[in-house]
Structure 1
Amino acid sequence: MIEATGLTKRLGGRTVVSDVSFRCEPGTVTGFLGPNGAGKTTTMRMLVGLSDPEAGGSAVLGRHYRELENPGKRVGVLLDASAQHPGRRGREALAVSAQMMGVPAERVDELLGVVGLDKSAARKRVRQYSLGMRQRLGLAHALLGDPEVLILDEPANGLDPEGIRWMRGLLRDFADRGGTVLLSSHLLLEVEAVADRLLIIGQGRIVADGSREELLSGAGVLVRATDAEELAAALQASDLEFQEVDGSFLVDAEAEAVGAAALRGAVILTHLGPSEGAGLEQLFFDLTEVPA
């Protein structure tokens, strides 16, 4: 369980997080989405006690993070994969953390296998790691204490497509076993496939919070035609509001109305259906757009 209530933070005289409130339930993955600089990392730093809010508060597992006894065994945190001792070998870095947390030594090799760092990689010094390897080691640190909660900031940075797919499976399994996951990203598609709920932040404020279906409720339909210009003209003639999305049109109307407009304009349609991913992507851009 993760709770934030009215979190507000100012840096350099500017409010970077403003009245942020949300709740992440056990058994779910919450995707924390927003463009770079929207306030995701600052919010997460406040959740784990690395930064104090000007107003509001937060709780993890019912208590402030700093009040948790041996917090690494309750909450796994990965905020910066590069913030690891560059001179230590991968296995050594994980073993030191295990010793500090009171975790059995055999857990180290188990987790190195879980995150896909073989014996050769485990012997290398962290400075020799690619960003993707550091992300895997960071995830191993987060999982080391067998926690109930994971708080991860941009964990897919540097991972190849296979690695991203692996990470999604790992997080899905963690949540399905009752864990709570808060996963931040500035890339919608990165978390859409695994998240149960989406939390969108723009300019330091929460602008949307809900399941994919809830956020897309009333988002309209996606339509394509053999001639995009003719389709646009037909939609305009029927007074239907629409936006162009990669050669298609996202229309704020029911499918029947769009089909009727195309028929009146003698336009041949190649696709007409729910907005799905295109609608969510457009919603994301609309909600997080910085005014000119």
Structure 2
Amino acid sequence: AYITHWGLPGEIKAKVGRMRPKVGKASAIHRDQLETVDEPLVVQKYLGNEGLFRTGIELSGFLPSPWSAVTHELTAGVMEGGIGEGGTLFGSNRRYPSLYAHLKNFWDMSDTTNAELGATYLVGSKDADRRFEVNALGVDATLVHHVTPTNKFKWQNELYLQDRDESITEEGIAYAENPWGFYSLVDYRLTPRWGIGGRFDYVELVDVDPLRRDRHSDTAFGGYLTFYQSEFARWRMQYRHTELAQGSNENAVFLQGTVAIGVHKHQLQ
């Protein structure tokens, strides 16, 4: 749980507590708000199986813009050290805080089309040696087009690039590794009740010895079908094929039912 305060100077909003930091797109929202059953692989492998969920302080505010159709929102925060379960971006020690910032740029291209472009920066520590910092840069881009009042097309992309000091020679020189990953998702609302979509994933692993890899990365692709029973109930079936860096392949079918009970905040909040 967290506390939100809107009364700071400059119309700055503050959040304090345990929350989802504003990092990228997929990690910043709860799983029931995703278009897919699971988080993208790059989010799972770097930030955690369910994305980032940490205790911290976050400040956000809108930047001045000369264009009425464009808004710029800047968010910055400090969160406890460590990373989400299964994530490999930072170490697991909570004593060394991590910092992050996110810039969101949103504009209405027309009455039926809008676009969003964002940039994220994270810096944190590894457990082994605090002298080595882990830096990550994220970029996200989303395009939404309302074909008709009941048909909507969405194209969402997100990429993360790391700069890691992983090893030291006898001369004391540190060599950086730069694993990266991304996903690209397409979602189409056929009718008010039915939607289809697909996602492609690519992620280079941090915690697998390069000598033990048969492939350079984990790669996955799949599709899904969604039935929106009502505003409060949704059912989804998804297929995913994954080619693992260790050489094996996985095929998975997911069935998901989501029922909302009680008061929920508006999507724009």
**TM-score bracket for this pair, using the shorter chain length:** under 0.3
* Structure whose alpha-carbon radius of gyration is higher: 1
TM-score of the pair, normalised by structure 1: 0.24
User: Which structure is higher in RCO with an 8 Å CA cutoff and minimum separation 6?
Assistant: 1
TM-score of the pair, normalised by structure 2: 0.26
User: Which has the larger share of strand?
Assistant: 2
